[in-house]
Amino acid sequence: MARLISQMDYFIICVTLALSIACRVCGTATPFYIFGDSTVDPGNNNYINTIPAYQANYKPYGHNGFFEEPTGRFSDGRVMVDFIAEYAELPVIPPFLQPSAEFINGVNFASGGSGILPETNQGQVIDLQTQIKHFEEVQKSLTKKLGEARANELFSEAVYFISIGSNDYLGGYLGNPKMQEYYAPEEYVGLVIGNLTQAIQVLYEKGGRKFGFLSLSPLGCLPALRALSPKANEGVCFEEASALAQAHNSALKVILTSLEHILGGFKYSNSNFYDWLQDRINNPSKHGFKDGVNACCGTGPYGGIFTCGGTKKVTDYQLCDNADDFVWWDSLHPTEKIHEQFGQALWNGPPSSVGPYTLQHLFLSKEKLTIADEVDDPDRQNFHYQS
């Protein structure tokens, strides 16, 4: 005769069930694949033939001492993807070109100075299309090592983070009179966004389902662009550059909303970096900074002459006493403190900063979806990020 289940039996069954659920998601952590430009380059440009403007493997880069020596990151220390990897309980994600790097937890393909368009700084950087080709090499290597089934599972679970586009507008358009002759601003934005859309679709076809995006910052407020503004003496940002960034961000938002409906299983986290950073530029003290306008490392008006490190045509530069007081590290790039704050915003920030999903949701969704019988969180299911 069957006996009634005891409390101890019930406890054991519950624990066993919980462990079985956990084991479906334990093992290898969610891989992190990063594509982009100097905002997220961990040092790939150390290994290519390029110019000093596209490298940061010399002092005072890495000035805060988190790394033993300059790594090639365009920062006084870490960049945002380093913090995101930490929040996801991953080790530092290595650059693709680093010899003997282990790629099981992810790879960073980013290259300082690169663009979405292959013509942007061509021959001196690793453009987005080439970065995707490098990803294909990693796919082949991991498939050979792990077997096709396990490798495909990893690629579908991975988070693909894309931070690129600024160089297409700064050097590729505003610094290229021929491009301005060929394309009106709105046509050029369409060209850039069209190429980015193709890249997303290629990664989707290769198994990518979860994507994160860094939208463009107020480009005209970079110290280098502010110094070039027609109203530089009044401290006004270069409006034309910021307008291009806003147009790009608006177009990207539309494209991502469309892809979400067209591509089955496509989930994304988009950011409102423009407004987020503008607030820190305009109101630095509210966020723990003293200066939102000038570069910590550089020379000239606003530190806007890109001289940090003294390796460029102009070798003189000044270095501030405490980079944590500044929004801007050099003429074009923010400090580690900004990277950390924005990494936190991307990870689990409010809808005003990130949406429709946070990166935390994308990294942890496997656990959440498994325990919840693989049903999406209804609170964010119909939410669309508003810029």
Helical packing angle, 273-282 and 239-262, nearest 10°: 150
Rounded to 10 degrees, the C-alpha dihedral 77/81/83/86 comes to -120
Is the separation of the CB atoms in 273 and 265 below 8 Å?
A: no
> For residue 120, what are the CA distances in angstroms to 52, 105, 128, 174?
17, 30, 10, 12
The 10 Å Cβ neighbour count of residue 58 is 15
Q: What is the DSSP letter of 354?
A: E
The C-alpha atoms of residue 84 and residue 346 are separated, in whole angstroms, by 8
DSSP string over 274-289 = HHHHHHHHH-GGGGT-
Whether 353 sits among the annotated catalytic residues: the reply is: no
**Through-space distance between the first and last CA atoms of the chain, rounded to whole angstroms:** 65
Name the active-site residue from 76, 82, 127, 330: 330
The C-alpha atoms of residue 27 and residue 211 are separated, in whole angstroms, by 22
Instruction: Report the relative pairing of strands 267-271 and 354-356 from DSSP bridges.
Output: antiparallel
b/e burial code for range 173-205 (CB count within 10 A of at least 16 → b) = bbebeebeeebeeeebbebbbebbbebbebbbe
Name the active-site residue from 38, 75, 111, 242: 38
Look at residue 318 and give its three-state secondary structure: strand
How open is the CA angle 14-363-209, to the nearest 5 degrees? 110
Element (H, E) at 380: helix 378-381
Whether 330 sits among the annotated catalytic residues: the reply is: yes
Whether 384 sits among the annotated catalytic residues: the reply is: no
Q: What is the DSSP letter of 305?
A: B
Is the separation of the CB atoms in 200 and 212 below 8 Å?
A: no
3-state helix, strand, coil in the chain (%, to 5): 45, 10, 40
Name the active-site residue from 63, 248, 333, 339: 333
Active-site residue set = 38, 330, 333
